[in-house]
Structures are given as structure tokens and as C-alpha cells.
Structure 1
């Protein structure tokens, strides 16, 4: 037999190329896993070529490192075939390790196929020498080389699958694994070479005169390093780009979460503390008073003449007026005092450590501050305020009682001619009789059929068609006329009447859906609001199911709207209820999104079909960068989670254009359509397009 020898330097280079090929395979597995769509296919194609070229180069350099006492050469066609086998095997390996799972059976099958591919590449490359007579292979070493190839392929596949997710921690592990995989590949190659024996008198038909194998090896090494270097560089740059984008998104979501947390305790328009924060501080002040015997003043303020301004100049001017009022109030009190906005034009001031004389001084200062003219959009506006004062704990040992008594004193101040303050007196409780009578009237409103539903349409951004309607309850009081929900729903929630009222609203909405379907009118989806009290009712799911069945309404026609704060009050219980409704087929809408403090990690667990951006964010979109940033973040988050975004309170063309540009799916507000009785929707029904229920 002819005795062969090896060029030690080329053998070393073959090992280095094998390690580089192994590292490239691990890096490409990570890149393909994180890519999607066309990008994933490009990474698979490029990665397969770079990895296959690296494995083949190791093999071919190892071949060039081998020499015999005769001239050697390699047939180009067969050599290219061996390269093709390497690329195909690499493509199969990368595809396999990027699947969602790699069970033992699939791993074993993949190892066999890839091992045979690597062995096939090697022995095809050997055949490119076209020896005469043919190469005599030792059966034992030949079999051992295939076993090594299969085992090395199994280790490589398992390692690549385990390290496919990109992170800073896996990079050193990939480097170490690449060394082990490279040694295994080299071991297979040189075991296969050891199996080859060349009889004395053998002739290499593919030998070419004047070809320097060392220079051929150098060229192959350079090309291989260039290709793998380019692929790895692109991979690193792409990963840096993704990390930068993810970091920016993380900062954006963190900022949005921080803003939402702030707004959970503050009014979205004026940035003053809201009712929730006020009630907490009020209970704290009462607790301190019980301990040290101190007292404090609680002032309930209502703006006189605000409704006239709002009606005459519009909501935008009204909102700006409220902001300026808030700024004046905040500047007129001490840092330890609390000024809160608790309603449309209602404010409450908590003044610790003040007696009646101190309260008079504060109230007089507030009357003067609010009484000064306001300048808004070129209009000089004049308003005043009425202030009710409760001295606590004498006028209220509990928070709710103290607020109610300050409110009663405020109404007494209004009855005195407004622009005045009044201290609470027990006789003022008589004025609360009106509220008590209203409660009594509300108890019989359902059975006397005094409640009615109006429907406000929602439009696909920017100009339609109508995608659905929201059912809004009104009270047709026999003496007071049509009463809006803002006036009687809080009363209903306090007395528990919200439960039968809510049942009636759900029943009437479903009845109306059936009537529209039977008459051939538009088959709109109808949204029904649930109050926090209703949402926590144990029979809610069965009530919804029975109501839908009674009116023969497809659950997909109904949307249940739940406020964000109600959904987040008890997350686990809310998830159970919402999932039950969702499994029934009912759509879920998270209403007033952004006004509560829902951790973003819970949002993806809610089976929500849509998020409704609160009107408080919509008002100042064009003028408040913070509101615009929050809306933009919510839209991006919703789209990422596959949730539709509905913006309510759209009152200007600027708001409509801004929200459309941000990516809101649907719009709702006075600009597009006011709440109207069902009969008045006939004109709209002639123009609507029936929505898909998919």
C-alpha cells in the first residue's frame, strides 16, 4: 500500500475551519429562531450555505493536507456534488433545530439523516480523486466513521436546539460547544481518511499538472473565512438592531406603565389627585384625628357658570378652563393640602390642622382666586365657585359621611346666591331628602318602564362604515324629564339597584338586536356596559347566557364592556369571568383603558377583543405630548396583541385625523354620531355595511 502523509499546518487549519463552521451553525439557529416570514427563509438559506461551505471546506482542506507519493487531484463536478451534499445537510439541520420541539425520536432520525449526509459528503469528496484502482476501505474504520458522523450530528442538533435562543449568556456556551462539535467533525473526517488504503501502483485520474495544493487550500480558507465572516457580521449587526428596537420598546412601555400608574391616582385632564387618592388621604386624616384629637377642614367646591361656558364655547374651551382652575387652586394652597378633582366641575380640598377661622380664610382666598377673570382662546370668561365646608371629625367621622356633608353644605351655599361658602349644619340633611326621593323613584323605574336605551354608533376609522353601536341607558323620569346616567348610575351602584337595572339593559339590548335582525335592518354588534358591581355578581355568566338564548341572539352580536379598573380589581376572578364569557362567544371590550392601573403583564392574559381609549386622553391629543405618547403606546401594544383599538370622545376633526394616523381601528364620539333612540338609527341602517362575524 502507498504510504500517505499530512501537512500539519493544513490539518490545524481544517480543525479551525470545522470549529468556525460549528459556531456558524449555532449562531444561525439562534437567528432563524428569532426571525419570521421571509426573513427567516433568507437566514435559513444563507445560514445553510455558510455552514455547509464551512463543513465542506474543513473536509477539502483535510483532503489537501493529505499527500501520496503520486500526484493527486479532484474532479470538479464530483467535488461540487460533495459541496451540495454539505449545504443540503446543513439546511436540513438548521430547519430541524428551529422547530418548536425536538423529541427523542425526531432527534435520532435527524442525527441519522444528517450523519449520513456528512459521511456522504466525505466519501463523495474522496471519490472525486478518481483513483485507479479504486480506494480500498477498511470496513471497521469505515463503519466507525459513519457512527462518529451520526453521533456528532446528534450532539450538534441537540446543542444547537438548546442554545438557539439569543442572549448574552449563551454566547460563551456556543463557543465552547463549537469547539467540541469541530473536534467531532474532524474526528469523523480523519477516521474516514484512516479507513482509506491506496494499493501500490494506484493512479489518480483527476490529477492535474502544475496545481499547488497548498495555494488551493489557502484560497479555500480565505473564501470560507470571508463567507462565514460576512454571515456572522450580518447576524451580529441584525441582533444589535433588534436589541436596540427592543430596548426602545421596553423603555416606551415602561414609560407608558409609569404614566398609567400616575393616572390611576390623578385626574387625566387636570393632573390633580382623583377621588381614589382623595379618599385615601381623607381616611388617613380621620385616623390621625382620632389618635391626636386634631381637626381639619374638608371643602367641596362646585363651579358656578361652568355649564354656560361649556355649552357656549364647546368642550375644548371648557376643558382648558378646568385646567386653569386646577392650576389656580393648586397655587393657592399649601404643599401639605390636597386639591382633588372628583367630578366634571367639582373639586374637593382637604386642609389639615385648620379650625373654623382658618377654614374661612382659605375659603375666602379660593373665592377670590376663582372669581378673577380667565383668558382662554381670546375669550375673557367669568365664573365663580360655591364652597361647602365640613369640619372633621365633628361633621363626619367616616370619609363617605364627611364628603356627603361637605356636598350638602355646598348646595346650601349655591342656594344663598352662589360665589359663597357655607359650613355644614345638621339641618342641611333635609336637603338630602331630594336624593332620597330620587332613590325611591329609581327603585320603581324598571317595573314602570321608565328606562330607555339610546345607541351611539362606532365607525371604522376614519369615516366608516358603522361597525357597531353602544347601548347607553337613560331615565325618562315622569317629573324631571330625561336624566343621564351620570346622575343616577352612581346612585344605583350605591344602593344595589344597578343589578336589576343592568339586567334590564342587557335584556333590552338583546331584544333590540333580535328586532333589527327580524326586520332586516343592519345586524350591528351591540356593546353593553357592565358596572363594577354587576361584574362582580356571581350569576353574571348565566344571566348573559340565558338572555342570549331567550332572544335567540348569536353571542357574537354582543360585546360586554368592562372598565379597566373593574377588570383589575381582582385579576384572577376577572380572568375566570371574562374567559367564561369569551368561551361563550361574547366579545370583550376593556373600557376607559388607561385610567386605571393595569399591569401590562396581565393585559395579554385577558381575552379582550378590543380596548377603548378613554376620552380623557383624546381631549388633548393635539396639545398634550404625554397623552399622545400614551395613546400611541396603547395602540402599538394592542396591535402587538391582536386587539382592536376604539377611541371614544372624538369631538373634532383634528382628533379624528390624529387617532386614525396613530392606528385606531374604530372611532366613537359626537363628531361622528350622538346617542339616539333605536328608531332614529333607521337612516344610518340604510348606509351601513353588514360586518363580518369572523
Structure 2
């Protein structure tokens, strides 16, 4: 812009520039200012702009100017300055598009989106106005010739208002984000006290207030101005925590909080605020904070959002607290429950005091009879009476809990936790609901001195001792010994080992061929599960299958065996053995599982195995457990094309009428009867009966455990069509089975 002289006050005229754009009186620097960067290679433009705007205020603040005389100099300033409100930018400087390139640098590389940019040019042809406005994020675009003082003031004032609004919007957005994060973080707070202190800390940080505040609670009741109990307090209110709020010492706050609670809304005054946090679990909650300054409308709205978030979080914390109470305390007696006692025993086992500690379970004799005869309400009063006596005489020195029903627990010093001390507490009668009731108790005790298990194990072992005591005599006691828990420990260890075996692929499937006795040709195989530990030892199925069924792991194991057997059947068919069938055992637990049929269909669909070549073997005991339900399930299974075999037939007590209704496809003669056919003159009677029964019912028959030719010959003579056993082949891995089949069914023994 060229120097101008004009009489009109609206024209831009020149003023000697003071250093750094400061005003002569120096007052602008002491107040908040709007910082404006002038970027122009013409020094006259800088001088004229200062003359036009230097003494003016906008939005109640003066302007502070920074100067750059080239685009490169502006880049250096922008690298260090981030709180600029407006940039007055020349388009043409070092190059024809220096100004536009600087805009791109500001927006895209520096990421300064708040600052407003006003383009000024003396050569409009280099940057057409419509194109520049369309393609660049600028606030205004003026030619220098049209920029009178009024128009310049208007453009800058508009830009500053826009900048202020953008900053306010962004600040609100940032605070909303922080409010949301605060809500999430407070959800993780453990306990009401931690949550309350979190409210104060987050509110102070989000709204840039002093960390002076307190959270209080008021019980519901007819008195709307009842006592306020301080849950948490910080800063200058710190001494008020964990006590009733002193209305004389904190009169103004007390009045403000009472009003917020009474009107159930947030209250704001000149230098403080009271937040109503809602009514939960029979109590009102409110908070007060020192604002340090009046809150504007936006901050008040954000504070309302903050309170709504906090109210939801507070409700969750109180719910969790109540759940923890229920989780760790007996709802009737308020004593520690089984879960809490596990933790306490674990703690005792990990301390030096374990050498002198004993855990005792105290079981009230014949309580169920009293409960049934006199009613559950009387029974509850009786339990409360026992709890009160145990607490009165032992609670000061020992831990007293209730693990369930009529069984209490006492933990602590062995000199006090002993049969004499505990049983003596039941010598005196209990006065319950106006009646004198005489009780006795039986004890199961466990010394923690050299105990190697966990808290949960200790409670279980004490229960083992208690059961032993109740078997021996009432009103007596038994201490736990290691020999009592051997079987249980073995079962638990086996269960854990079984889980590991499944995960680490220690279990695998082998296949025992089934033979046509007339032709001695293999017609199928039974899939059998084996377990070989990492140290090379085999665990027999009769040891791990019952554990798998007891633990429910058989569901997962059984599905894996079925899936693998189906896949291997497909491989055999691809190798040319198309008439080969595969039998898979199904346990009682699997069969009872509600999704067994869905699992079967899914495996068939996934593997593509032909259902007509798959046979499921169920034991006779399963068949007889709930025949009506089983009949319906077998009907649905047979609709898939899968056939059914009754395994170990003859070992149970089957009803022939039910057997006929089951519509099974095959009976399997148990190896016990196969062994007996050569041992006595009538040894073949049961095998012969099963074969005849199968023939009469139209069912095929397979004999298991055939180990010599004499057995095979007798079975063949009796009309048994199929057999399996060591005479023909031992169970073998799949690759070995393929080789055995390829060799014509020889070499597998």
C-alpha cells in the first residue's frame, strides 16, 4: 500500500510506530489483548495499520501487533507464536503466491485452525477473490485500495469476533471431552470416598478452579435441612472431612448446600457454587467448590453436564458398594461371608501369624429340624443370636464369619480357636423370641501352621473335617489331616492337568478297526481318545474321562474328537475307502448338553462328512436314564442320517420295550461277555442272547474285545456279523490306520 494523505478521518494515514507495537501508556500489556500479526513487505502498510487500529479496543481488549516483512519471516514467527487472533496477510511478497502458500502452511502444516486470516493485496489479478475465498480458509479478502480505516476496523473486528467464538466453541468441546473422560475415569474409582475426591479433583481441573471443595451426604428424612456428613474435602476445607459439616464455621456453604439439596438443583453465587448430585440409596448428595471467579453461561451449562455425568457415576459406585457388601458380607448377620473369609485366610496364610493360627467351622446341630419346626423367622433369629454371642466373646480378638446356612467360621490365634473355648459358648441356652433354646455345635478345625493350600482349599478342608466330625459324633470336633483330602486333591490336580492337556494338544485320537467276521475285511473304526503327557506317560481313559465329565471339559473334548473323526473319514474316502464308517463315543454329559444336536449338525456341515457313515455310541446307562427324552433326541439325530449304537450292552438293566422304542441301529457286546464265551459251558449264553436280540430287532451287532481266534469262531458261529479287538488290530494313529488299510488290513497287531 502506498503512502496516502487525506483530510478525511476515514482514510489511512501514517503514525510514527512505537517499538514492538506497544502503546505509550503501557496499560495494554497489563490486560488481555488480541494479538494481530501483520505480514507485508511494504513498511508503509505496517505503519498505516498501526495508525488505524493501534489505539482501538475490540470486545473490551486492546490490540497487540507483531510484524513480519516477508513470508519466510512470518513462518519463523508462527513457529513460536500460537495465540494469534488475526493475521493481516499480503498476497504478493517474495513470490506472486507467497501469501496463499503461507495460508496453506498455517492451516495444513502448523494446524492453526482458530486464527482468522484477512488477505490484502494491491494486485488482485494474482489471486482472484472468488478463487481465494473458495480454495482457502480465510476470513476476508480486500484490495489495499479499498481499505479505509472504517473498513479495516470492520474486517478486523469481524475476524476477532469469529476467532473468539471459535475459541469458545473449541474450549467448550475440549471441556466436554474432559468431562466425558472424567466420567469414565470416575467409573473406575473404588469406593464412595475415592469417587468423591475424584469429583473435586476433576471439576477443579476441568473448570480451572482452586482445588477447594467438599462432597457431603444427607440422609433422607422428614427434616429437609438435616445434618450434612462430609465424605471428602480438599484444600482449605480439608479439615472438614469425615464429620458433620459445622454450620457455624461454614455458614455460607452450609446454607448454599442446604438450598441446593432442598431445591434439587445447582446453585451459583459470586464466588462459589453448590452442585446437586442426586438422590441415591436413601441419601442426598451435594458438592461445593470455590469457583474463584463468576461462571459464564457456557461454563454453567457445562457444569450441568458434568453433574449429570457424575450423578450417573455416583449411582453406579453406590450400587457397586452395595454389591460388594453383598459379595463379602452375609446379609442376615452382616458378618464376613465365605468369599471374604477366603481372602482373610489367604492373608493369614501369608503372614507370620500362621504358625499360631487355626480355622474352625462351627456347625449348629439339628438346626434344620428347629428351622422346620418353628419357622424360618425363628431360625433367622436363632442365627442372629449365635452370631451375636460369637461376636461378643470372640470378635475383639478373632475373625468371626458365616459361610452359609447354619455354619459359622472362626479364624485366629490357636489358643482361642480351640474346641473347649468354642463349645463352651453353647453351654448356656439362647433366649430367642421369649423362648429358651439349648443348642450344641460340631466343629471342624484346621491348623494353618504347615498348611500348603490356599484360603479356598483351607475352607474346603475344614469342611471335610466338619463332615468327618458329624459322622463320628455330634457336639464333637475333628482336626483336618492330610490323608482326608487325598482323593479330592487328586481330582483337582487331574482337572487342572486335563485343561493343560487340551490346550497343549497332549490328547489325540486313535482308531480301532471293526471287522466283518465273515470276510475278515475292515468295515469301519471306533475313534478313541488317548492322553500322553509331556513326559511320555499315558493316562488311561478310565482315569481322565470321569474327571472330564465331572468338570464339563468332556463337552469341549467330545466336540474335538467328533470333528477330527469326521475329517479323517473324509481323508479315507479320498484315499478310496468309500464304504468305511466311523464310530464316536458320546458321554452322558455330552448327550445332556442342550446344544449337542446343534454341535453335531455344525460339525457335519463344516467337515462335509457323510452322516450315513457316522455312528454315535451311547452307553446302556444313558439309554435308560430318561428314556422318553432320549427317544426324542435320538429321533432328531437319526433325521440327520447319523446312526446310533448301544455300547456295553448287557451290563445294565435295559427295558426291552424301551430298547425297541429307541430305534438304535447297532448293539455292542461288552468285552466281559466276549471273554466269558470260552471260559464255561454256558459262557456264550449272554453273547448269544444279545446277537439273537439284535437279529429280532433288526439291529446289527458288534463284539468288543475279541483277542483270539477261538472267540472269533464262536461269535461267527453264533451269527455275530462284526467284531473288534486285539486279534485284528490295536487302536492306532490315523497315518498307521491308512497304512494298515492299504496293506489289506494286516500288520496292525
TM-score, with structure 1 as normaliser: 0.38
Structure of greater relative contact order (alpha carbons < 8 Å, 6+ residues apart): 1
TM-score, with structure 2 as normaliser: 0.35
